């Protein structure tokens, strides 16, 4: 699948702006803010598949990131509008692998891509546990063949 076709299948999970305090001494958004915006996108993606705060709290469940890789592609500066779109890459018994594609919302230029793996946890025993079947099915419906930059 082409990058454009895959990108059209992603769902928007975050939209925001780069503020001056997000920028470092080199006048571009510091890496800590990329990670923060990706984290906010993650919780929106999780909610989209049914891993809502209410569900997680009510079932004593959690999600933990166990692997993350980021490719920084173009700088963002104060005043830029940021959009993150996301998709699932794979669904395991206890895990989700997913991608976030961050772009300058005005120009469409790629800013960064991250690939994450998160594990579904039983918080009582602090161990991985199977994803509920309805959640796994919703996540599988979001799987795309996304061309990663590395």
pLDDT string in tens for the chain (150-residue length)? 445 545 579 999 999 999 999 999 999 999 999 999 999 999 999 999 999 999 999 999 999 999 999 999 999 999 999 999 999 999 999 999 999 999 999 999 999 999 999 999 999 999 999 999 999 999 999 999 999 999
Within-domain flag for 119: yes
Total tally of structural domains belonging to the chain: 1
Within-domain flag for 145: no
Within-domain flag for 69: yes
- What is d(CA 50, CA 61) in angstroms, rounded to the nearest whole number? 12
pLDDT for res 3: 53
- pTM greater than 0.85 (yes/no): yes
Within-domain flag for 150: no
Task: Calculate the alpha carbon distances from 134 to 37, 60, 62, 141 in Å.
Answer: 27, 17, 16, 11
What three-state secondary structure class fits 91? strand
113: domain CATH number? 3.10.129.10
Identify whether the C-beta of residue 119 lies closer than 8 Å to the C-beta of residue 93: no
* Phi, then psi, of 40 in degrees rounded to 5: -60, -40
What three-state secondary structure class fits 29? strand
Could you tell me where the DSSP H helices lie in 29-116?
31-49, 53-58
Within-domain flag for 48: yes
Q: How many CB atoms lie within 10 A of CB 74?
A: 13
**Residues of the domain holding 95:** 3-140
Within-domain flag for 148: no
Vertex 99: Cα angle to 96 and 104 (nearest 5): 155
Within-domain flag for 94: yes
pLDDT for res 6: 55
Q: How many CB atoms lie within 10 A of CB 120?
A: 23
Minimal CA–CA distance to 131: which of 44, 10, 49, 40? 49
pLDDT for res 1: 46
């Amino acid at each position: 699948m082409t990058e454009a076709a895959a990108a059209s299948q992603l769902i928007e999970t975050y939209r925001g702006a780069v503020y001056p305090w997000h920028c470092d001494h080199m006048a571009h958004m510091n890496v800590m803010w990329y990670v923060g915006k990706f984290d906010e996108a993650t919780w929106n993606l999780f909610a989209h598949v049914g891993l809502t705060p209410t569900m997680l709290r009510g079932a004593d469940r959690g999600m933990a990131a166990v692997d993350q890789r980021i490719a920084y592609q173009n700088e963002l500066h104060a005043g830029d509008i940021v959009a993150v779109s996301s998709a699932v890459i794979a669904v395991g018994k206890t895990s989700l692998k997913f991608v976030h594609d961050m772009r300058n919302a005005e120009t469409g230029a790629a800013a960064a891509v991250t690939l994450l793996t998160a594990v579904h946890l039983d918080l009582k025993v602090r161990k991985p546990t199977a994803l509920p079947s309805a959640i796994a099915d919703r996540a599988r419906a979001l799987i795309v063949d996304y061309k990663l930059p590395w």
